[in-house]
Chains A and B, each alone.
Chain A
Amino acid sequence: MLKKLLLTVSALVTGVLMYAQDAPTGGVKGTVINRNDRQPVENARLSLMQGAGEVANAVSAQDGSFLIGNLPDGMYTLIITAPDFMEQQVGVTVVDGYVKNMFTLSLTGQEKLAELEDAATAELDMDDSGFGDNPSVLFDANDVFANVASFGFSSVRFKQRGYNSETQEVYLAGVRMNDALTGYGPYSLWSGLNEAMRAKDTSVGLGAADYNIGGYNGTTNVTGTASSVRKGLRGSILTNSALYRLRVMASYATGVMDNGWAFAANVSARLGGNDWVKGMYYRSFAYYLAADKHFGDEHTLSAVFFATPGERGAQNASTQEVYDLVKDNMYNSNWGYQNGKVRNARVRKTHEPVAILKYDFTPSDVFNVSATALFRFGSNGYTALDWYDAYDPRPDYYRNLPSYFWMDNKDYGRDNLPKYAMAAEAWSHPNDYPTTAHINWDRLYNVNRANIEDGEARSKYVQEERHVDQKDFNFAVNGKWRPLSWMTLVGGGQFRMNTTENYKILADLLGGSYYLNIDNFAERDFAANPEKLQNDLDYYLSHNMTAQKKVAGEKYGYDYLAQVRSLSVWGNMKLVFGNFSGSIGGRVGFQKVWREGLLRKGLFPGTWEEVKAINDKYGLNMQPALDAGGRAITSYGKSDAVLKPTGAVKLNLNYIIGGNMRVYANVGYFRDAPSFNQCFISPRTRNTVTPNISSVKTFATDLNWQYSGNGFNVRLTGYYSRINDITKVMSAYDDVQNAFSNFVLTGIGERHYGMELGFRTPTPLPNLNIRGALALGRAEYVGNPTMTQTIDNSAAPVTFNGESKVEVAYWAKSPVYKRTPEGFITPEIDHYQQHYVPSTPQLAADLGLTYFFKYWFFELDFQYFDWAYLDMNPLYRTDYATAGPDKIVTPTEIEYMTTQEKFDGAFMMNISVGKSWFIKHKYQLGFSLNGKNLLNNKLVKTGGYEQTRIVDNTVSKEQYYRFDPKYFYMSGINYMLNVYFRF
């Protein structure tokens, strides 16, 4: 028995030894470094290919090293990928069973981020739409879909899964930075500081994050501290043709020095106009200073201070009639010649510094906690023309356009063809008729100078600067603890105290000496009641019933504080069991908002008691303005507070199959408080809270399949979400009411579903890859919201057939009626047209080739976008609007008024090329050149909106007509050249 055993063991040992002698002993090893600063790159993925198949893979260690062993002799291709770096491919030959030492493999950083972020924060003037948006795409180098989509789809203002940008959660140093008043992403706070803000963690969709449980539309955290800035001195100079002409940028970072200090600085300037939109320009600067002090391995104290002072000229949307007349879809009505030089009326002027103090405590590998105090302050102004008792100075005001004088449809009553021809002639030759197609600044000065009252020039036209100046204090604590090898707990909390002063100043009196601080809309209805006209009633009363004269730089019009307080705590538990992992987390908190008026407006003088006191003191007979419920509406002092609980729960499940494949699913429910701007119907004038304001409730889920191996990287996702009780507040002039109006939409519902596919695959040709992304989804409205309209001059809401709250009956869908064989419309409904969330293509596809060779890279992308829709005006979709002046609803009117416009699909081609060189083994010089829209397609609508106006003075008086919608277009062929220098 013992003999048998010995023989068996002997045979096994011999067999093993024999096998060992036959096993391949070759391999490849080396260290992955950052080409810029020669620092090791951790977590780079190395995939060893033979033909199209992956033979082996590895991940670089903390020091950048890697080893792939047990390779038979042969020729291989090693593909190295890492977040924030461009993919690199090198050939490897293993001979005689030796381990090939590649020494250092350097990766080149992505350089296209600069363009992406600036494009996302370009100033688009949506003011007269009542809608606002700030689209952005989260960049995530780890995600193959986001990697392509964030670059490739930004030019058409693609919104991932159709979600509004405010649903993205954006953090800085662990503090949620979404705007306290609007919820929008705060990218403009650090645009131009690309180097300092490069380090970030991003999760896509419902994915979990370490600094919060995140939302349902991606979560990103910009590290922002000195230690996170790439070491070394670097500079770049960039020119592009679509945004600004010149960007110069420099940064320097020490990295963590032996004494524990780390310092970093980043400055930049973005200057000039562009090839496509006249009047749009940048004069923006940026600075960033940061220092970290590491006290041993446990304590780190970080201080950061940055801002992006400067100004940006804005682009405006116009109607297709205007674009066709001037033969330019990039026409911008915001500018005109002053003294022969270009001047833009709408300029964003900002200087909003952010100061951060962060403390990190890392006592062990299994526990760390950080605390961050962040303060944002400064000023954020946006200029616009304002006027009193004067003709509208905007060149594309509808009464200046040819269609105002003649239209083919006689029902408009516009019958003067010669006037039409003359106006069209002028518009068609804007260089010959600059005062027709552009703002006539010289005239505005002349009018102001000539308007002498009491011996002084009283300005009729001024340039105002609307300020939204935030004092935003945030304090966040985030911690991470791994008590067990299979369990990680993360959690924290954030408190926000935001006080934002909303006011406007007289930026420029345009040649006049003063401007009278009265409400010119109110004057039209209450001319004989001077108290009602006053924007500052208290001043008027205390100055012998004299309206206030304002000079340049002074506040006028309105002035109020938006107060926001919020607190939330969150926690997330992550579990790992073999190939299975999951997390479950939750967040609870509240948000409280209120308005605090700093001026007593004459239209809304106060409560009964306050008005009585005024009357007694000044011998007047004023009355309070009463709402529909008989309650006095106030403008001065505090409003009612809107207190809403917030919360979220989220579950993530993750299963790894065979090392390369992953299946994961996420599901979450979110209850988000409405933003301040949604809580008040007309905060410029009064304290009135939006009636029936609700929290937004969202259910979202997705299911994902991911494969990463053999040189392939694929993600396929299906998603579904339902959002209820969205509120929108819009303000616009209403021709039916002949007044400036506020429209409140409550109870908007949305349903989002679809799929995402991202992939990158090798080809039989060395160094040539195919990549692609496909977003195919639907973001559609569900159910009909209700609309309440108020006008600034009146306390009571507008009534429609006696009702102040009306259903927007054709919001989610509109009927399409059957036709007779002769083409006449019948009362029988054929089908319904579904209405969609606007201003993003819901079908976006990219197919590209990438080629890397000896530090050259070439990329060629073909893109197709479709299923994009126009932003809808709720007024058009009410029974009131479809009934028309005769109050008779017809199928023709319903179809005409309620249909949602779908934009045409668009095909595009982009190309990128780049290269870098080392000079004397010390300096690095490189460039990247991106050419976009090489087919010069100038017909791609990227957004727009229906005007909230109705043509009501028709001849037949049978139906209302829409005002023409306004559009934004994508620019034609454009380039960006970036030359960088580092050492």
Chain B
Amino acid sequence: MKKSILIIAALAALCSCQALKEEWQPVFSPAKEPAEEELLNLDDKVTHTIAEFKALYVRDKEPVTIDEEIWIKGQVISSDRTGNVYREIFIQDESGVLDVKVGRSAMYADYLPGQWLYIYCKSLTLGEYEGTLQLGLATDESGPNAQYEVSYIDVQSIIEAHIFKGPRSEVIPAIEVTEAQIKAALKAGKQDPLWGKYVIVKDLQYGCKRDFYTHVDKKVFFFIYVDPNAKDKKAGTNRFFFSDGTYSIDTWAINKEKMVSMLKAGQLDKDWIEGNPDRYDDPLGEGIALNLRAYEQDMKDEGITITDEDREEFCRKKREEIIQNATAQSISHYFLINGGQEIAVRSSGYGKFADKKIPAEVLGQPGAKLDGKKITVRGLLGLYTPSSGPTAQITFIEDPTETDAMVIQ
């Protein structure tokens, strides 16, 4: 009997020794709710203002990988809650704005608008993309992403080692900028500190300037891929550009469902199904014309005579392919500030307000010139630099249909 008691006691002792181990925690002492998040105050560490920090970038030359003990701080002015900003955070101090490429989606509850962030910059890289200075990580210059000067900070341990959450404050109010300031910034180019700021712009009216390519008074800009997964995705034969009017698009952007219905309804056929013979000589007239041309050329090379039915069949198949591969579309709507400076309002097709309508009174009548009501918009001011020339661009942070990010004057 003694033996049995001893053995059982020994076993019980063995088990109770184990009780301190983590394996018993879920059994006997489930985890309690964590305490409120501790927010840091690292003001003592801050060495540079954002402007001073951005000055380290040698403009138009090389991205700079920081090898000094540099700390900056800034207040979050962006939010990706609506999906219009994606995988980046804009922070601002009194001296300027910095785009921090934190490669996470849906961070709006991790880094709240108005919250101070402390960034330990050593070993991070400061670079530029289309006029905006960005803080991220270095890219491999020989790799397929070499066209970008910085890459996302998307390794969890790097995020935790470099970005620290500070106190939460009120959201920084947007600053009002005038047409003149925008013009000046465009003239100054990429280095102007205005780019990236959270701004209010008044007196926008739906319309665009006539130019060599678009003989219209109102326009949108976007492009679609025939095959988003194609080997040479950006080849002319795989992209159709749409900038020759508004295509009856009356939403801020186009989500996938809407895009499919537009394609099926033939709303975009004008450019890429029917083709426009006038556009064949147009350097931007790549899309279907070049595709059809390529098809015709192929047939010609093989000594095959094609008919109009063959052309229609080709276009029918191309249409099916495009519909099958349709994705959400980001759209730029063009406005004029007081009838003068052109500015685009660009919204993501993946954003939550993508398919919400722009008020008809803002759009005016199709074909009419500057007949819409003027609006005031609030968002991030960016610089877009296509080959056709630099353009100012507004990106909404909030939903313009549910907030005062857009107000009809």
Chain A residues within 8 Å of B, Cβ to Cβ: 237, 239, 245-246, 271-274, 278-279, 281-283, 313, 337-344, 347, 389-391, 399-400, 405, 410, 413, 415-419, 422-423, 425-426, 433, 435-436, 441-443, 445-451, 460, 511, 523-529, 736, 799, 885-886, 917, 919-920, 923, 925, 927, 952-953, 955-958, 977, 979, 981
Q: Does B46 contact A (CB under 8 A)?
A: no
Find B110's partner among A283, A410, A447 (CB 8 Å cutoff).
A447
Closest chain B CB from A485 CB (angstroms): 51
- B353 surroundings in chain A (CB, below 8 A): 527-528
Interface string of B31-68 (1 = CB under 8 A from A): 11111110000000000000000000000000000000
In-complex Cβ contact of A885 among B23, B229, B324 (8 A): B229
User: CB < 8 Å: which of A245, A436, A525 contacts B23?
Assistant: A245
B31 and A441 contacting across the interface, CB-CB below 8 Å: yes
From B26, B29, B106, B160, give the contact of A390 (CB < 8 A). B106
Q: Is A273 in contact with B157, judged by CB distance below 8 angstroms?
A: no
A residues near B32, Cβ cutoff 8 Å = 338-339, 341
Q: Which listed residue, A413, A422, A736, touches B158 by the CB 8 Å rule?
A: A422
Which residues of chain B are near A460, meaning CB under 8 Å? 106, 109
**Can you offer 7 A-B residue contacts whose CB atoms are under 8 A?**
A399-B154, A441-B31, A527-B354, A528-B251, A919-B1, A919-B4, A952-B229
9 A-B pairs besides A281-B23, A526-B255 with CB distance below 8 A are: A273-B23, A337-B31, A339-B32, A344-B26, A390-B109, A415-B145, A433-B157, A446-B110, A450-B110
B21 touches A (CB below 8 Å): yes
* Cβ of B265 under 8 Å from chain A: no
Judged by a CB distance under 8 angstroms, whether B143 is at the interface is yes
Contact A405 B155 (CB under 8 A): yes
Complex interface: stretch among B132-140, B195-203, B275-283, B331-339: B132-140
What B residues does A246 contact at CB under 8 A?
A: 15
Residue of A whose beta carbon sits closest to that of B141? A415
The reply to whether B33 and A885 form a contact with Cβ atoms under 8 Å apart is no
Residue of B nearest to A432 (CB): B157
Interface contact A527-B24, CB-CB below 8 Å: no
For residue B178, CB closer than 8 A to chain A, the reply is no
Provide the residues of chain B in CB contact with A529, threshold 8 Å.
257, 355
Write out the residue numbers on chain A whose beta carbons fall within 8 Å of the beta carbon of B355.
Answer: 527-529
Given A417-B140, A425-B157, A927-B7, A342:B31 Cβ within 8 A:
yes
Looking at B14, B34, B144, B158, which has the most chain A CB atoms within 10 Å of its CB?
B34
Residue contact A283 to B145, C-beta cutoff 8 Å: no
Which of A271, A340, A528 contacts B258 (CB under 8 A)?
A: A528
Q: Chain A nearest CB: distance from B31 CB in Å?
A: 4
Q: Contact check: which of B3, B33, B156, B324 meets A435 at CB < 8 Å?
A: B156
Contacts of A451 in B (CB 8 A): 108-109
Docked complex Cα distance between A953 and B230 (Å): 9
Instruction: Say how far A396's CB is from chain B's closest CB, in angstroms.
Output: 12
Residues A416 and B15 in contact, CB atoms below 8 Å apart: no
Please tell me the size bucket of the interface on B.
35 or more
Return chain B residues, CB-CB under 8 Å to A919: 1, 4
Nearest Cβ on chain A to B351's Cβ, whole angstroms = 7
Question: Scoring B residues 222 to 233 as 1 if CB is less than 8 Å from chain A, else 0, what string do you get?
Answer: 000001011111
Contact B31 A245 (CB under 8 A): no
B151: interface (CB < 8 Å):
yes
Does B104 have its Cβ within 8 Å of any Cβ on chain A? yes
CA distance A410 to B160 in the complex (A): 28
B152 to chain A, nearest CB (A): 9
Partner of B106, one of A274, A389, A526: A389
Closest CB in chain A relative to B145 CB, distance in Å:
6
Q: Does B256 contact A (CB under 8 A)?
A: yes
Known: A418-B137, A528-B354, A917-B3. A339 touches B31 (CB 8 A): yes
Roughly how many angstroms separate A439 CA and B238 CA in the complex, as a whole number? Answer: 41
For B354, list chain A residues within 8 Å (CB): 527-528
**How near does chain A come to B402, taking the closest CB pair, in angstroms?**
12
Minimum C-beta distance from B277 to chain A (A):
31
Partner of B144, one of A441, A885, A955: A955
B304 contacts the other chain (Cβ, under 8 Å)? no
CB proximity to A under 8 Å, residues B1-24: 1, 3-4, 7-8, 11-12, 14-15, 18, 21-24
B341 → chain A, closest Cβ, in Å?
A: 30
User: Does A957 contact B4, Cβ atoms closer than 8 Å?
Assistant: no
Please give me the residue from chain B that is nearest to A406 by CB atom: B140
The minimal Cβ–Cβ distance linking B242 to chain A, given in whole angstroms, is 20
Is B157 touching A436 in the complex (CB atoms < 8 A)?
A: yes
Complex CA–CA separation, A859 to B15 (angstroms) = 26
Q: How far is the CA of A445 from the CA of B109 in the complex (A)?
A: 11
Decide if B255 touches A957 in the complex (CB within 8 Å). Answer: no
CB distance from B363 to the nearest CB of A (A): 17
Q: A239-B15, A281-B27, A339-B32 are in contact. Are A525 and B257 (CB under 8 A)?
A: yes
CB distance from B156 to the nearest CB of A (A): 5
A525 touches B15 (CB 8 A): no
CA distance A419 to B158 in the complex (A): 8
Q: Is the CB of A979 within 8 A of B31?
A: no
Closest to A395 in B: B156
Instruction: Tell me, in angstroms, the Cα distance from A526 to B354 when the chains sit together.
Output: 10
Distance of A271 from chain B, by nearest CB (Å):
5
Interfacial chain B residues near A957, Cβ < 8 Å: 229-233
Tell me whether B183 is interfacial, beta carbon within 8 Å. Answer: no
Given contacts A416-B137, A435-B160, A977-B11, contact A343 B31 (CB under 8 A): yes
Judge whether B293 is part of the interface by a CB distance below 8 angstroms: no
Which of chain A's residues has its CB closest to B352's CB? A527
Do A341 and B3 have beta carbons less than 8 Å apart? no
A525 and B25 contacting across the interface, CB-CB below 8 Å: no
A981-B4 in contact (CB<8A): yes
| Smallest CB gap from A453: residue in B | B81
Q: A410 touching B27 by the CB < 8 A rule?
A: no
A304 to B35, CA, bound (A): 47
Complex CA–CA separation, A347 to B31 (angstroms): 14
Please indicate the chain B residues that have their CB under 8 angstroms from the CB of A389 in the complex: 106
Picked from A245, A341, A410, the residue with its CB within 8 Å of the CB of B18 is A245
Contact of A313 among B26, B145, B256, B257 (CB under 8 A): B26
Kindly list chain A residues whose C-beta atoms are within 8 Å of the C-beta of B3.
917, 925
A222 CA to B106 CA in the complex, in Å?
53
- Encoded as 1 (CB less than 8 Å from any A CB) or 0, chain B from 152 to 167 comes to 0011111010000000
**Is residue B105 contacting chain A, with contact meaning CB distance below 8 A?**
yes
Instruction: Give B246 Cβ to nearest chain A Cβ, in Å.
Output: 18
Partner of A272 from the list B4, B23, B31 (CB cut-off 8 Å) is B23
The verdict on B90 contacting chain A, using a C-beta distance below 8 Å, is no
Nearest residue, chain A, Cβ from B153:
A419
Specify which chain B residues have a CB less than 8 angstroms from the CB of A410 in the assembled complex. Answer: 143-144
A283 lies within 8 A of B255 (CB):
no
**With A342-B31, A441-B31, A957-B232 in contact, do A237 and B37 touch (Cβ < 8 Å)?**
no
Query: What are the residues of chain A within 8 A of B14 when measuring CB–CB?
Result: 239
Chain B positions 249 through 281: 1 when the CB is less than 8 Å from some CB of chain A, otherwise 0:
001000111100000000000000000000000
B209 within 8 A of A: no
How many angstroms from the CA of A523 to the CA of B256 in the assembled complex? 11
CB of B85 closer than 8 Å to a CB of A: no
Nearest-CB residue, chain A, relative to B227: A885
- The CA of A399 and the CA of B159, in the complex, are separated in Å by 14
Contacts of B109 in A (CB 8 A): 390, 447-448, 450-451, 460
B37 partner residues in chain A, CB cutoff 8 A: 442, 446, 449-450
Q: 4 closest Cβ contacts across the A-B interface?
A: A273-B23, A415-B143, A528-B355, A957-B231
Residues of A within 8 A of B257 (CB): 525-526, 529
Asked, given contacts A245-B18, A272-B23, A341-B25, whether A423 binds B157 with beta carbons under 8 Å apart, the answer is: yes
Of the residues A245, A278, A426, A435, contact of B24 by C-beta under 8 Å: A245
Q: Assuming A435-B160, A460-B106, is B22 touching A273 (CB within 8 A)?
A: yes
Chain A, Cβ-Cβ closest to B110: A447
A450 in contact with B112 (CB, 8 Å): yes
Q: Which B298-353 residues sit within 8 Å CB-CB of chain A?
A: 324, 328, 350-353
Q: Give every chain B residue within 8 A of A523 (Cβ-Cβ).
A: 352
